[in-house]
Chain A
C-alpha cells in the first residue's frame, strides 16, 4: 500500500515538475521578442553600431561603447520638444479628465432630453478612425487661427490647437469609461449627501470624485501616454520644431538625403521612455487600489 503510493507519488512528481515549468517556458518564449527588443534598444543607445545584440566599433570588433548618441541632450531643441510633449500629455490628462468626469456624471445620474442619443452618438464617433477627420480638422483649426486672441493659442500650428484636437478625439472613450465608474456607485451615498445639505456640485466634488479616484487615475494614465507619444496629430497640424513634440522630433531626424543615425534615434526613444516609467511607478498603486466601500450590499 505504502510502496504503491510512493511509486505513484514519484511519477506524479515528474508530471508536477513539467506542469510547473512548462507554463513558464511558454511564457518566457512568448515575451522574449519584446524583452530582446528592449535589450537591443538599451544596448544600441550606447554603441556606434550593433550586430545583433552586440555593440561593434567601426572595424567590426565587439566593443565600441559610446555616449555620443546622447549628444542630442545638449541641443536646446530637445528640451523644447520634451516640454511640448509634457504640456500636451498633461493638457490631455486635465482636459479629458475634467470634461469626461463632468459629462459622465450627468449622463449617469441626470435625466435630460437627448441623453440616450448623445450616448450612442459618442460611441459612434469613437468608432470613426481619427485619420478620416484630419482634413476636416485642418479647416477647423485654420478657422480658429483667424479668431483674434483664441487663434494664437488654439489655431493651426499651436500646441493648444493640437491639444484641443487630441482632447476632443479622446473624449468619447473617456466619457464612456467614467460613466461606467459612476454607474457602479450607489445612489444612496449621493442621496445621503443631498439630504445632509450638499449642493449637486458639492456632491460631485466632495463625495463622488474621491470615490472614483481609481477610475480617474486609469483615465489619466491612458491620456498621459497617448499625449506623450502622440504622433499623427502633432505631425499633421504643426510645422517646424517650435511646436513639435518628441515623436515628431524623432521623425525630423530621419532624413531622406543624409544617412540616418539610428542609434541616436534609439537614444531619443529611450529618452522618451524614461518619464513614462517614472509616471508608472507613481500611479500603479492608485490603479491597483480597489476602493474599500462603506457598504455591505445595498442598492
Chain B
C-alpha cells in the first residue's frame, strides 16, 4: 500500500506536534522516522494509525484520504515500545484478538494464529501469559499480533528500545527480513540512528515537528543537508569546527588557529569567501599519520575494535577513531591527516549545508 502525507499537521493549542509533514511511502517500502524524543515522529505515526486526528493536512492510503477513517478500518498492524500486550490474555488470545474482532471462524483463527506464532518462533508458548515471557518473546508476540490480520501497513513505535543490546541486534535483522519477505509497507519510528540506517530504505529525519530530510541512508550519511542531520546521523558523531575557507594560489585552504588544510576545489569553492563556516568531518575520516595537523591526545576511550580519541587542536576539540595498536597515551602529541574529500561545510547562521542545499 502507498502512503502519502500532505501538509500533515497536529497541534494541541499552542503546542505543535507535527508541522506540515510532506512525504510519501512507496508500496512495500520500509521507511524510518528518525529524530530525538519530542521531534514529532510518534505523533505523525499515531496520525497514520488513526489514533490522533490531524489538525490539518491529509493522509492518503493508495490515493484515498483516510483522515476520518477509524483505526480499526485502516487495516494496519502496529507494534509498540511497551509491547502493549493484553496481560489478562495468553499468547494465543493475544495473537488471535484481531481475528476474533473480525469474527473469523474459530478453526481458521486457530490455524492463522498458530502459523504466525510459528513464524515468530513462539508457537510453543501459546498458553503462556505475557508476564511469563521474556522481553524478546513479548516483542515477538506483539509482532505476531500485528501480522496476524495480514495488514497492508505495519507501524512500529520504537519496538526494540526495551530490549537488551544483543537481542536488539538480532530482532533488527529479523524484522527487516520479515518485512522484505512479506512485502508489507512499513513505517518505523526510532531515535536510534543505527536502527534507522540499517533497516530502512528511506529515512525521514525530524526535529521539532518538522521534516528535516527524507532520503536514503547513504545519502543522509554522505550528503547531510543540515547541521542537525550531520550531527545526528553517524556514530560516533561528526566533528564540527568553525573556520574560514580562503583561496590562495589556486588552492582552497580551511583555516583556524593551529589548523590549515587544503580542501579539494569542488568542495572548497562553495565554502570560500563566506566568512566563518562550520567544517564537519567524521571521526573515521581522520587518520593519525607522520605529517599533517599537530594535535594532542586528551582522552582515550577503548571501543574494542577502535579507540575513540578525543584530541585537542589548539582550543578545538575533535574525536578521532584510531587503531588500538598505536597505543596512544594521554598528553601524546600526534599529527592528523584529514580525508578532505569527505569534509562538509555548513552556514553557521542558517545551519544549512553549503555543499548540498
Least CB distance, A174 to chain B, in whole angstroms: 22
Q: What is the bound-complex CA distance between A197 and B102, given in angstroms? A: 7
Check B88 against A211 for contact (C-beta < 8 Å): yes
User: A-facing mask of B44-77, CB < 8 A → 1, else 0?
Assistant: 0010011100000000000000000011101011
Q: How large is the interface on B (under 10, 10 to 19, 20 to 34, 35 or more residues)?
A: 20 to 34
Residues of chain B lying within 8 A (CB to CB) of residue A191: 46, 49, 51, 71, 78, 80, 84
Query: Does any Cβ of A come within 8 Å of B194's Cβ?
Result: no
**Structural contact, A197 and B80, CB atoms closer than 8 A:** no
Q: Are A298 and B72 in contact (CB under 8 A)?
A: no
Q: Which residue of A lies closest to B75 (CB)?
A: A197
Q: Which of B130-138, B250-258, B291-299, B307-315 contacts A (4 or more CB under 8 A)?
A: B130-138
Asked if A164 is an interface residue, CB under 8 A from chain B, the answer is: no
Which listed residue, B71, B82, B87, B130, touches A195 by the CB 8 Å rule?
Answer: B71
B135 to chain A, nearest CB (A): 6
In the bound assembly, the distance between CA atoms of A274 and B350 in angstroms comes to 78
Residues of A in contact, count (CB < 8 Å): 25
Contacts of B142 in A (CB 8 A): 192
Give the distance in Å from the alpha carbon of A152 to the alpha carbon of B81 in the complex. 55
Instruction: Say whether B83 faces chain A, with CB atoms less than 8 Å apart.
Output: yes
The residue on A at minimum CB distance from B98 is: A196
Interface contact A198-B101, CB-CB below 8 Å: yes
For the complex, what is the distance from the CA of A198 to the CA of B342, rounded to whole Å?
A: 52
Closest A residue to B163 using CB positions: A296
Taking CB atoms, residues of chain B closer than 8 Å to A186 are 82, 84
**Using a CB-CB cutoff of 8 Å, which residues 155-209 of chain A contact chain B?**
186, 188-189, 191-199, 202, 207
Query: Whole-angstrom distance between the alpha carbons of A116 and B78 in the complex?
Result: 32
**Cβ of A279 < 8 Å from any Cβ of B?**
no
B259 on interface, CB distance cutoff 8 Å: no
CA distance in complex: A295, B129 (Å): 12
A-B contact pairs, 5 of them (CB 8 A): A188-B82, A194-B51, A195-B50, A196-B97, A293-B131
| A→B interface (CB under 8 Å) | 186, 188-189, 191-199, 202, 207, 210-211, 291-299
Residues of B within 8 A of A (CB): 46, 49-51, 70-72, 74, 76-78, 80-88, 97-98, 101-102, 129-131, 135, 138, 142, 145, 149, 155, 162
